[in-house]
């Protein structure tokens, strides 16, 4: 029985999850073979494999929000409060999974006021510009420091931190690393710095809901209790969905299908909200580093994931999306109106030819621009999907992050890759260390 027969012509392509909605309709509409295909056995196999990884404890990200105790959360908040009361800002050294998740959520939720009151500088690179800017930041203020590295041996993170260390207050340094292994762990233990563990069974790009993300988020003013609640709500919801109706499986399937069967191997995520631009960097890392590798048969697999921003990139990429090679899937993100709309308003100068604009709100213009883009792309049979947030909050983002992580892990099973390792990244890290 095909997907369409099981789920009805219009059913189960438009899913309502805790905090957001995801409408995959065009991805099914433009792929008749997908509608007629039955993914049951693919789903069951992936489910059995993931279930055993979750149950034997080798992969921990999915159950983590439910097992995190309120004492552990309180400890993170307490460290954050102490640092905020004693320092004027924070330098955060970390890269990849030890940077992107928290930075993306902070960018999405942080007010200008929060940034003014307790500025954050992310040191996530080793080029001279980045190092000079970090030095200038720590020289002007009394700052706390977070050093985040799960492996404890990432050259960029360590070299930036050591370079600046003479300017840092040792009492304000917190180190987040593996609880047992790695050079950094041994170094922390011998110097007695404040430290927090990264669960050994949660890899960098899946770690935003652990201390790796939570301490920076608490320092950034994000309500981490709400965020974990959002992730827990998602987890309970998704665990109760039958496989065929499960949005995480549906989302993973469409990505996999369009890549492998329809040859659409470039997959964009394009929010129409500037504050979500960095979230696309997190998404790209999560999916690219998890899927782009050799599968169990030795074949190189994985789509290319890309982030873009609407409406801005309508004025650069849209032409290519519409009339260029038909090898792309475009995912949009929008949010329901959150504030009273801001109207364009009439200018002082007489401008009758632009009057059609003046009574509209920016929210209206933005969301109509998204719909116009979608319509124009769909007219050319370019496959799109749409995520609609109820609101942008710690809770809704907590739910969305865990959704993305789970869907990515499911896609890893479809591709028959180990979604949780990154041999390519590790090799370059080792070569760099050797060459130094
Ligand atoms: O997802 C991953 O494992 C990587 O991207 C790491 O997060 C990144 O390389 C940084 O590693 P570490 O936290 O060990 O410094």
| pLDDT tens digits, 157-186 | 999 999 999 999 999 999 999 999 998 999
**Looking at the chain, how many residues does it have?**
436
Predicted confidence band of residue 6 (pLDDT cuts 50, 70, 90): low
Integer Cα distance of 421 and 290 in angstroms: 7
Integer Cα distance of 15 and 21 in angstroms: 6
Residues 216-245, mean pLDDT to the nearest whole number:
97
Q: Cβ contacts of residue 32 below 8 Å, gap of 6+?
A: none
The verdict on the CB of residue 204 being under 6 Å from ligand 1 is: yes
The verdict on the CB of residue 203 being under 6 Å from ligand 1 is: yes
Residue closest by Cα to atom 3 of ligand 1: 204
Closest-lying ligand 1 atom to the alpha carbon of residue 425: 9
Is pLDDT of 225 > 70? yes
Q: What is the pLDDT of residue 240?
A: 96
Region at 57 (left for phi over 0; alpha for psi -120 to 50; beta for the rest): left
Token reading at 188: 């922390």
Is pLDDT of 1 > 70? no
Question: Terminus-to-terminus CA distance in the chain, angstroms?
Answer: 58
The verdict on the CB of residue 98 being under 6 Å from ligand 1 is: yes
Q: What is the pLDDT of residue 43?
A: 97
Q: What is the pLDDT of residue 338?
A: 85
Q: Hey, which of 98, 176, 426 would you mutate to test ligand 1's pocket, going by the most ligand atoms within 8 Å of its Cβ? A: 98
Please tell me the distance between residue 41's alpha carbon and the centre of ligand 1 in angstroms: 33
Token reading at 415: 């591709």
The verdict on the CB of residue 289 being under 6 Å from ligand 1 is: yes
Q: What is the pLDDT of residue 350?
A: 79
Q: How many beta carbons lie within 10 A of that of residue 119, not counting itself? A: 15
Integer Cα distance of 180 and 260 in angstroms: 40
HSE-CB at 409 with a 13 A cutoff on CA atoms is 23
Q: What is the pLDDT of residue 7?
A: 64
HSE-CB at 397 with a 13 A cutoff on CA atoms is 30
**Average pLDDT over all residues of the chain:** 95
Q: Is the dihedral of CA 405, 409, 415, 418 positive or negative?
A: positive
The verdict on the CB of residue 97 being under 6 Å from ligand 1 is: yes
Q: Strand 384-389: give its sheet, edge to edge.
A: 14-17, 20-23, 384-389, 328-335, 266-271, 304-307
Integer Cα distance of 356 and 329 in angstroms: 33
Integer Cα distance of 102 and 224 in angstroms: 11
The residues facing 174 across adjacent strands are 146, 194
Q: Cβ contacts of residue 159 below 8 Å, gap of 6+?
A: 126
| pLDDT tens digits, 145-160 | 999 999 999 999 999 9
Integer Cα distance of 183 and 180 in angstroms: 10
Are 213 and 69 contacting, i.e. CB atoms less than 8 angstroms apart?
Answer: no
Q: Hey, which of 59, 94, 97, 412 would you mutate to test ligand 1's pocket, going by the most ligand atoms within 8 Å of its Cβ? A: 97
Please tell me the distance between residue 410's alpha carbon and the centre of ligand 1 in angstroms: 21
Is pLDDT of 120 > 90? yes
Residue closest by Cα to atom 12 of ligand 1: 149
The verdict on the CB of residue 422 being under 6 Å from ligand 1 is: yes
Helix (H) or strand (E) holding 197: strand 194-197
Q: What is the pLDDT of residue 89?
A: 98
Are 416 and 295 contacting, i.e. CB atoms less than 8 angstroms apart?
Answer: yes
Query: pTM higher than 0.85 for the full model?
Result: yes
Residues 266-273, mean pLDDT to the nearest whole number:
98
Catalytic amino acids?
289, 315, 429
Helix (H) or strand (E) holding 97: none
Strand 89-93, strand 120-123: pairing: parallel
Q: How far is CA 295 from CA 260, 291, 342, 392, 416, in A?
A: 13, 9, 50, 36, 5
- Between the CA atoms of 172, 94, 134 and 78, what dihedral angle is there, to the nearest 10 degrees? -30
Q: What is the pLDDT of residue 351?
A: 84
The verdict on the CB of residue 210 being under 6 Å from ligand 1 is: no
Integer Cα distance of 152 and 268 in angstroms: 32
Q: What is the pLDDT of residue 349?
A: 82
| pLDDT tens digits, 383-397 | 999 999 999 999 999
Please tell me the distance between residue 416's alpha carbon and the centre of ligand 1 in angstroms: 22
**Listed range (93-97, 263-267, 421-425) with the worst mean pLDDT:** 421-425
Report the percent of the chain where pLDDT is more than 90: 92
């Amino acid at each position: 029985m095909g997907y369409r027969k099981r789920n009805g012509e219009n059913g189960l392509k438009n899913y309502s999850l805790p905090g957001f909605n995801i409408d995959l309709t065009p991805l099914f509409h433009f792929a008749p073979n997908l509608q007629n295909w039955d993914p049951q056995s693919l789903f069951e196999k992936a489910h059995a494999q993931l279930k055993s990884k979750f149950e034997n404890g080798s992969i921990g990200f999915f159950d983590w929000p439910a097992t995190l105790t309120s004492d552990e959360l309180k400890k993170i908040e307490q460290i954050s409060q102490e640092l905020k009361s004693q320092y004027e800002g924070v330098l955060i050294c970390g890269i990849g999974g030890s940077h992107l998740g928290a930075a993306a959520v902070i960018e999405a939720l942080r007010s200008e006021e929060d940034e003014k009151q307790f500025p954050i500088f992310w040191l996530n690179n080793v080029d001279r510009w980045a190092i000079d800017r970090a030095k200038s930041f720590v020289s002007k203020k009394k700052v706390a420091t977070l050093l985040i590295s799960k492996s404890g041996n990432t050259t960029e993170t360590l070299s930036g931190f050591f370079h600046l260390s003479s300017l840092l207050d040792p009492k304000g340094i917190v180190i987040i690393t593996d609880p047992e292994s790695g050079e950094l762990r041994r170094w922390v233990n011998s110097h007695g710095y404040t430290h927090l563990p990264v669960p050994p069974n949660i890899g960098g790009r899946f770690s935003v809901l652990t201390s790796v993300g939570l301490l920076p988020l608490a320092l950034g003013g994000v309500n981490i209790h709400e965020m974990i609640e959002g992730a827990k709500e998602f987890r309970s919801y998704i665990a109760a969905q039958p496989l065929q109706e499960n949005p995480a499986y549906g989302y993973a399937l469409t990505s996999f299908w369009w890549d492998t069967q329809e040859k659409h191997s470039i997959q964009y995520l394009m929010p129409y909200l500037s504050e979500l631009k960095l979230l696309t960097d997190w998404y790209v890392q999560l999916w690219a580093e998890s899927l782009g590798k050799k599968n169990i048969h030795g074949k190189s697999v994985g789509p290319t994931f890309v982030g873009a921003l609407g409406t801005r990139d309508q004025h650069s990429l849209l032409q290519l999306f519409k009339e260029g090679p038909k090898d792309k899937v475009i995912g949009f993100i929008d949010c329901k109106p959150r504030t009273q709309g801001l109207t364009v308003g009439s200018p002082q100068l007489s401008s009758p030819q632009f009057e059609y604009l003046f009574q509209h709100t920016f929210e209206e213009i933005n969301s109509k621009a998204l719909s116009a883009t979608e319509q124009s792309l769909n007219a050319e049979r370019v496959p799109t999907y749409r995520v609609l947030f109820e609101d942008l909050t710690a809770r809704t983002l907590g739910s969305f992050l865990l959704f993305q992580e789970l869907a990515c892990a499911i896609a890893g099973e479809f591709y028959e890759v180990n979604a949780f390792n990154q041999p390519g990244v590790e090799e370059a890290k080792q070569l760099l260390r050797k060459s130094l």
